[in-house]
Amino acid sequence: MKTITPIIFILFALSVSCGKENAPFVRVPLDGDTKQTLNLSDIVSEMNVIKLETTDLSLINIRRFRRAIFNQDYILIAQTDKVFLFDGKGKFLRTIGKKGNGPGEYQFIAATSFDFQKGLIYIQSAKHLLCYDINGKFIESFYIEEKMPKDIYFNADKHCMLAETRTSEKGKPVRNLWLYQFDAAFNKVDSVLYRSISSGMALWTQPYTDSFTQLDNQLHLYCFEGDEEALFRDTLYRIADKQLMPALKLDIKNAEASNGERTLYLLNIYRSSRYVFAVCYRSYEEQKNWFYCYDTKEKKAYFQGGGFTDDIYQTGEPAAIRVLQTDANCIYYLSPDKEDDEANYQLCFGRLKD
C-alpha cells in the first residue's frame, strides 16, 4: 500500500478573472418561484436505452445509487455499498471489490472513477483509494494522510481529488476544502483552496455529488452545500492549470421565506455547451429534489419537482437526470423497466442539443 502525502508547492488563491482560455463567464437566473415543466424531447437530440441484465448479483438498489460512468464498451454503476460493471450492451460482468477490512476491500464507497484509457477503476473509501482493473483484480491501495477525500476524478491526463482538512481558529473548528491534482504516479500534488468554513459540521453525502464534470477540454468543479450558511455556493468553477476560474454564476432570487430563512439549497450545478442544470431542494421538510434547466440559446428556464418529464420512453417516472461526468453534453438517468416489474433498472442516456 502506498501512502499519499500531499506536497503543496504553491498555494493559489481563487482567481476572479474570467477571460482566459476562451471560456466566457456566464450569469444564469434561477428564480425559486419558477415552476415550469420540461419534456426531455425538448433538450435532447437523441436518446438510447440499455436494459441492464437481471441476475441475483446485479440488482441495483436505487436508494443507494450514486453514479454511473459509461462509454460504448463499459457501464459502471456505483452505489454506496457496491460497484457493478456491465458491458456496453448491458450484460452483467462482475462486481468490483467487496466490503471488508482486508487488502482490496472497502468499508463503504464515497466516490468512484473510471479511467477508460488505462482500464482502471478507482474506489475511494474513507482515507483509502483502491485501484482495480476491469477484470476486478485488485491492483494497489493508496492511503491519503491527514485528509478526508470527498470526490475523485481520474482519466488519462487528469488526476483530481476533492478533500477536506480541519483546523481551528480562535478556538472554533474550521473546515477547509481543497482541490488536489496528482501526477500519474500519485506521488505529487498541487493544491487550491476551494473554500473555508467556520463550522464543526461534517460535509454529508447525497446522490448528486458529481463534483467534477468534463466539458470538451474543460474540467468543471462544484461542491454542494453541506452546511446552513447564509451564503449561497452559487458558482461553478473551471479548473485551469493550477487555478480555479469562475465559469458560471447562478443569480438566485426568491429563495428566502418571510422570516428570512433559506428555502433553497443547491446540491449541484452542471454546465453543457448549451444548457445549465442545477439540482436543489427547497426545504428540509419537503424531502424532494427540484431540477432546474436553463436554455442559454432560448433564454428560457425550467424548474420541476422530482425530475423532468420523460415523454420519450414514457416510463411514468420523473427523469432525475444527471450529466455524465466524463462528457457534460450527455445526460443520463436510471428508470425501472415498465414491461417487467422484476427486471433490473435500465440506463437511459442521450446527447443534448447544440
Q: Which residue has the cell 421565506?
A: 257
pLDDT for res 168: 81
Residue 225 Cα distances to 11, 80, 140, 250, angstroms: 23, 20, 32, 14
Q: What is the pLDDT of residue 205?
A: 58
Residue 147's domain comprises 2-352
**Across the chain, which distance is largest between two alpha carbons, in Å?**
61
CA-angle at 220, arms to 205 and 196, nearest 5°: 55
What contacts 331, CB < 8 A, 6 or more positions away? 44, 321, 322, 323, 324, 349, 350, 352
Q: What is the pLDDT of residues 248-307, one digit of tens each?
A: 999 888 776 656 667 778 889 999 999 999 998 876 566 678 999 999 999 999 999 889
Q: What is the per-residue pLDDT for 201? A: 53
CATH classification at residue 194: 2.120.10
What pLDDT, on the 0 to 100 scale, is given for residue 14? 31
Q: SS3 helix, strand, coil % of the chain, rounded to 5?
A: 0, 55, 45
- Contact predicate 307/321, CB 8 Å: yes
Which grid coordinates belong to 316? 411514468
Please give the Cα distance from 249 to 198 (Å, whole number).
23
- Report how many domains make up the chain: 1
Residue 344 pLDDT exceeds 90:
yes
Average pLDDT, the chain: 84
pLDDT at 174: 83
Distance CA 42, CA 345 (A): 24
